[in-house]
């Protein structure tokens, strides 16, 4: 049995469902779950309609810093605040498979990417530049304080993209994000934090999306994982998402051969079984 679940970010446009479904159909053709989730995320990173890779948000200081992670039971790889690469998820996979480490950050992640053969790449788009200009104008006008509560993120959600897979008894998950426009340089959300934005073990795999700070506070993914076996995975995920109230949050998961995609806002997603 093969199962793959993709999401294109909570609060993202529901009309992107077709894109996510297309990418899920391509990714499920891979033979291994890790390669399937990486391919799914790579496809979304290359699509400027999603906030990951090309099309990532530009931070207040004008930089683009991206996070990505991959996980299989017993192993993990992530890049944090990586810059000037096209596909952070591919670098995260190489961190897991080709380095002695699990997480590389900042210029160290960039240097590793170059050694792995990834060329310099500018992921900015006109849409991202225009969004940053709007944020800067609001900061200058005093509409947003320089240091703000994450409550402000509701208006400037950056979304993430993610995938989970279950192929013949094996689980894997991958996630990538361009962060949000309303962030300081160096900010890290939930995506590359194991147990918060992503997790996988022998019982299942899950990836979260929403306001990173709130997901980290609740360690959403590991909470869901810890409850596997105590009810249907769909019910477990729904209960956890409901605990966030009106804070935009979503999660995709697969456990015991059952997939789900639950969110409290529109979340383009796809579930494919073979």
Its CATH class, for the domain covering 2-273, is: alpha beta
- Is residue 137 pLDDT above 60, yes or no? yes
Model confidence pLDDT, tens digit, residues 53-70:
998 999 989 999 999 999
- Cα distances from 47 to residues 44, 178, 262, in angstroms, run 5, 12, 23
199 three-class SS? strand
* Helical packing angle, 17-27 and 33-45, nearest 10°: 140
Condensed to tens digits (0 to 9), the pLDDT of residues 119-133 reads 999 999 998 999 888
Report the catalytic residues.
160
pLDDT value of residue 210: 92
- State pTM to two decimals: 0.94
Q: Which of 65, 62, 46, 44 is nearest to 54 (CA)?
A: 46
- Per-residue pLDDT tens digits for 210-256: 989 999 999 999 999 999 999 999 999 999 999 999 889 999 999 99
Percent of all residues in the chain with a pLDDT value above 70, rounded to a whole number: 95
H/E element, 183: none
Residue 264 CA to residue 262 CA, distance in Å, equals 7
Q: Is 267 helix (H, G, I), strand (E, B) or coil?
A: coil
User: Do 57 and 51 form a contact (C-beta atoms < 8 A)?
Assistant: yes
């Amino acid at each position: 049995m093969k199962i793959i679940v993709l999401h294109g970010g909570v609060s993202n446009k529901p009309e992107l469902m077709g894109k996510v479904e297309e990418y899920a159909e391509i990714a499920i053709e891979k033979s291994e779950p890790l390669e399937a989730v990486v391919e799914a995320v790579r496809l979304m990173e290359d699509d400027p309609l999603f906030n990951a890779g090309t099309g990532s948000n530009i931070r207040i200081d004008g930089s683009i810093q991206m996070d990505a992670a991959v996980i299989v039971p017993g192993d993990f790889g992530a890049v944090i605040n990586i810059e000037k690469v096209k596909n952070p998820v591919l670098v995260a996979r190489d961190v897991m498979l080709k380095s002695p480490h699990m997480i590389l950050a900042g210029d160290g992640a960039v240097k590793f990417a170059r050694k792995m053969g990834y060329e310099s790449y500018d992921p900015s788009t006109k849409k991202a530049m225009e969004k940053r200009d709007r944020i800067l104008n609001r900061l200058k006008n005093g509409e947003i304080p320089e240091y703000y509560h994450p409550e402000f993120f509701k208006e400037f959600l950056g979304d993430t993209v993610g995938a989970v897979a279950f192929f013949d008894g094996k689980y894997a998950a991958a996630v990538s994000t361009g962060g949000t426009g309303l962030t300081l340089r160096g900010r890290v959300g939930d995506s590359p934090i194991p147990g918060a934005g992503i997790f996988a073990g022998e019982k299942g795999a899950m990836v979260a999306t929403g306001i990173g700070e709130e997901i980290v506070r609740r360690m959403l993914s590991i909470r869901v994982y810890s409850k596997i076996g105590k009810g249907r995975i769909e019910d477990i995920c729904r209960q956890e998402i409901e605990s966030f109230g009106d804070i935009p949050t979503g999660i995709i998961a697969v456990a015991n051969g059952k997939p789900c995609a639950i969110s409290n806002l529109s979340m383009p997603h796809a579930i494919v079984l073979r």
